[in-house]
Structure 1
Amino acid sequence: MPAADAVRGDSRLGAWQERVRTVLGAVRVTTADGASPGGTVVTARLGHLDVSRVASDTQRVTRAAAAPHVDGGPGVLLVLLTRGTAALVQGGRHLVAGGGDLMVWDEAGPYSLHCEGPFTALVLRVPRSRLAPYDRATRGAALPAFASSAGTAGLLGTVVSTLATSPASYAPAVAGRLADTVVELLSVLLLERSRPGDAEAGARAALVRRVREHIDRHLEDPALSPRTVARDHHISVRYLHRVFQSEDTTVGRLIQQRRIEQSARELARPELRTLSVAAIALRWGFADPGHFSRAFRRYHGCTPVEWRRRGGRV
């Protein structure tokens, strides 16, 4: 890629917004303190596609319903998040992505994208006119928005990541064929996601997976709760509970279950015999030993002391 066109952290927010607009069109960038997040935008051409690498810090990107489009009319945005997290809100739907996830959405409608930094992302914009096979198959149906790293999305993400390393290094004829391959894979992915319910189910499954991973990373934090989980994923507590309705547990019960499982594992370890039950409970987020003992008994059918004495056997 060519040398980065950088915007320093002390530059005006408006200057950074103009750089972002070269990638996403007529969007508005805001930050919590009103200062520029700084960062770099590097764009190179791959056949008929622009491939941009964006590196920056926390910010929100919003697009109004009446905002004009860049050349080529309304497009489909492919964003491969390689670092950080991002939350997209469009049409009342919430998408949450982390490193390695591919986000796809239609820029024709208004949306809000919250990027939690530091983050890096590869951005491709495909004009809707390039998706003729998809449009014929779906009769121009609304494009599904989703975030995923599984199946065809994972394959497309790998291709995008590989091609974005040095898109300008390919001969023109080869670059054109590679760009066609990206568009073909995107068409296949959109056809898969256009089946009724698939897009919503895929988005919910990805969010459930991400929430479970988040809980495991923060089990030792006594403040961990459905409220903090929802906050960290930029969604409401109500929406979080709705997403988990199809699971066999609630977010609150999942947090407690994982804490008890980790506590039970440590209580059964002979080398940790010198640690008190209360100390192990506190380590895994249980500030009240009595509450821990009652919750442990409900889960394992015995007290933590009995569990330790039996070496982790019921």
Structure 2
Amino acid sequence: MSPESSTPEPGLTGTLYTTEAVPAQRRRAYWREALSRTFGAVDMGVPDEVDGGTIRTSPLGPMQVVTVDGDPLRARRTPRLIAGSADDDYVVVKLLTRGVARIEQDTREAYVRPGQLFVYDMARPVRLTLPEAFRTKSLVLPREVLGLSESDLRQITASALGADSALGGLLSPFLSRLVDAAGTYPQRTGELIARNVVDLVQTLAEERLGGTCADTPSGARMSLLRIRAYIDQRLADPDLTPDAIARAHHISVRYLHKLFQLEDITVSRWIQQRRLEQCRRDLARREPAGRTVAAVAHRWGFTSASHFSRVFRAAYGVSPAEWRNSALGAARSAREPRGLSA
């Protein structure tokens, strides 16, 4: 049985899944499917008898906010599931408000108590265990929004954040209230709030990285994180150059290049790489399928369609048109009906 969804309450935007009206013999299958639809493809371990569970989601700018109330469960995202799904472009920032949890990722394991935050990356294997009735409040963020490299992201996953951090202590209650009210915000207000939330999460990441990167001065690392976020917000601007970035951050171009040496990449190559990633995602989506390759390239700051095609093929081994055709074909196959097993 596939879960049916509805609007949580009049005046709110988003989706509601609840086992309340589901017959007892079908609740387990319903609950497993609802969780996978919300957080991506996972292997679920749930009790034989699911007494009840509720998932509420709302859009907030580029992210989704999610509240889950449920019975004990185990969730595991394996390499097989990652390879076969399109859910790996997201990072989850989760606040535990009731129950206890254990999170495992990137060779780390953390035990989380109420009031603490933790982060996990959908692009790599992860295991989450909630051994008793729980409530979580989550932000599901497109990974490019955070502007963190994979190496930096690996340093903040599967770590309990909150009680022992002044910033985490500030972010936890703010995130809780934000998730509760997200569905009531007008679209423009939601986008502005989302931007502030991302800034806070980035600062929390910077705080964490500043304490763990012994070989890199924390001030330089934080500056680099802020500059990368700035670049991501302005990829569509064809005039985004090292000179413009340096002026915006009141630093010299020479120092800007020195910061990017920490990533073993040039500023211009970083900008091109991020633009290519955005174009690749746009070309794989159904919505812009009627848009020309040149229009997608222009949308993300490429001024020459021929140059875009050359660098795209150099990066991914296929032309933009070939990539779009293969991605849309795979998406059509993935939408074919499939059954559920308890």
Q: Distance in 1 between matches of 2:57 and 2:153?
A: 30
**Which one of the candidate residues 85, 98, 110 is aligned to 2:100?**
85
Cα displacement (A) at 1:5:
2.2
Q: TM-score, with normalisation over the residues of structure 1?
A: 0.56
Question: Partner of 2:154: helix, strand, or coil?
Answer: coil
Q: Give the SS at the match of 1:36.
A: coil
Q: Which has the higher strand share?
A: 1
Q: Deviations over 1:207-239 (max 9, x none)?
A: xxxxxxxxxxxxxxxxxxxxxxxxxxxxxxxxx
**Which structure 2 residue ranges, 5 or more long, are not aligned?**
1-6, 10-15, 214-342
Query: Structure 2 CA distance, aligned partners of 1:81 and 1:99?
Result: 5
Partners in 1 of 2:30 and 2:153 — Cα distance? Answer: 36
Pick which of 8-17 and 72-81 moved more.
8-17
State the 1:41 CA deviation. Answer: 0.6
Aligned to 1:98: 113
Rg larger for: 1
C-alpha distance in 1 between matches for 2:151 and 2:70: 38
> Any idea what SS the aligned residue of 2:79 has?
coil
After TM superposition, the structure 1 = structure 2 runs for residues 241-260 of structure 1, keeping only pairs within 5 Å, are none
1:270-295: CA deviation from partner (whole Å, max 9, x where unpaired): xxxxxxxxxxxxxxxxxxxxxxxxxx
Residue 144 of structure 1: which of 151, 156, 180 is its match?
156
Gaps of 5+ in 1: 199-314
Given candidates 2, 6, 10, the residue that maps to 2:8 is 2
Change (3 A) 1:119 1:141: closer
**Distance in 2 between residues matched to 1:153 and 1:46, nearest whole Å:** 21
Please point out which of 58, 61, 72 is paired with 1:44. Answer: 58
1:154 is displaced (CA, Å) by 2.1
1:39-78 maps to which residues of 2 (within 5 A)?
A: 39-68=53-82, 73-78=88-93
Note the alpha carbon deviations across 1:102-141, whole angstroms, 9 max, x for none: 1112221111111122111111111111122x44xx8766
Q: Structure 1: how far apart are the matches of 2:129 and 2:151?
A: 31
- Partners of 2:29 and 2:176 lie apart in 1 by 29
Q: How does the TM-score come out when normalised to structure 2?
A: 0.52
Counterpart Cα distance in 1 of 2:28 and 2:87: 27
* Secondary structure in 2 matching 1:99: coil
Aligned residue pair count:
195
Query: What is the rounded CA distance, in whole Å, between the counterparts of 2:175 and 2:202 in structure 1?
Result: 14
Between 34-43 and 57-66, the greater mean CA deviation after superposition:
34-43
- Partner Cα distance (1:19, 1:147) in 2: 26
Moved more, 187-196 or 20-29: 187-196
Q: What SS class does the counterpart of residue 187 from structure 1 fall into?
A: helix
* Aligned match of 1:194: 209
Q: Deviation digits for residues 232-262 of structure 1, max 9, x if unmatched?
A: xxxxxxxxxxxxxxxxxxxxxxxxxxxxxxx
Aligned sequence identity (%):
27
Q: Deviations over 1:138-179 (max 9, x none)?
A: 876635211121322222222211111221211211110101
